[in-house]
Amino acid sequence: MSVLLQRLLIPTLLSCLLLSACVGGSGGDDDSTPPVGPTDPTDPTPPTSIPLGEAGETSYAHMLEYLDVVLDPANFDECLTTDLETEWYKCIPGPRTGSGLGHVVHDWAANQLRAIDGIVNVQQQPFAFPVFKPVDYSLSVSTPDGEPFRPAVFPWYFQGISPPEGVTGELVDLGGGSLLDRLRAGDLSGKIVIFTATQALNAQTVGAQRALDFAAENGAVGAIVAIEGPANELVAQNYNTIEGLRPLPTVVVGEFDGDRLVELVGQPAHLLVDASVQPPGPTGFSYNSYGFLPGIDRDNYLVIGTPVNGWFTVGSERGPGVGGLIYLARYLADRVARDGPLPYTVVFAFTGGHEVFGFGQERVLQCLGPEKVAAYIHLGAGLASKGYIEVAGQPTETGLAATQRALFISENLILEPTVLAAFADVVATQVLTVSAAGSLNPGEARAAYALQIPTMGISGAGLFHHSPSDTADKISVDYLGPVIESYRSVIESLMDTEPDTLRAANALANALAGDPIGFQCPGPVQVP
CB 245, CB 208: distance < 8 Å = no
404 and 461 Cβ atoms separated by less than 8 Å: yes
Question: In whole angstroms, what is the distance from residue 10 CA to residue 414 CA?
Answer: 51
Domains of the chain, start order = 108-127+285-512 (3.40.630.10), 134-278 (3.50.30.30)
User: Cβ(129)–Cβ(285) under 8 Å?
Assistant: yes
- Cis omega before residue 73 (within 30°)? no
The confidence score (pLDDT) of residue 440 equals: 66
The closest of 11, 106, 98 to 306, measured between CA atoms, is 106
In sequence order, the β-bridge partners of residue 197 are 227
SS3 419: helix
Task: State pLDDT tens for residues 56-93.
Answer: 999 999 999 999 999 999 999 999 999 999 999 999 99
Instruction: Report pLDDT for 25.
Output: 35
In which residue ranges of the chain is pLDDT below 70? 1-44, 200-204, 439-442
Residues in Cβ contact with 292 at an 8 Å cutoff, skipping those fewer than 6 apart = 119, 120, 121, 345, 346, 347, 348, 527, 528
Strands 455-460 and 433-436: unpaired
Please enumerate in sequence order all residues whose Cβ is within 8 A of that of 322, keeping only pairs 6 or more positions apart, or say none.
62, 63, 66, 109, 306, 308, 350, 379
CA distance 286 to 70: 16
Nearest Cα neighbor of 54 from 407, 472, 488, 384 is 488
Inter-residue contact 78 to 103 (CB < 8 Å) = no
pLDDT of residue 176: 84
For position 260, what pLDDT does the model report?
A: 96
The SS3 call for residue 487 is: helix
Cα separation, 302 vs 271, in Å, equals 48
pLDDT at 204: 67
Q: How far apart are CA 495 and CA 489, in angstroms?
A: 10
User: What is the reported pLDDT for 39?
Assistant: 55
The residue among 93, 76, 59 whose CA lies nearest residue 470 is 93
- Whether the Cβ atoms of residue 335 and residue 218 lie closer than 8 Å to each other: no
Q: Which of 460, 453, 467 is nearest to 407 (CA)?
A: 460
d(CA 46, CA 380): 28
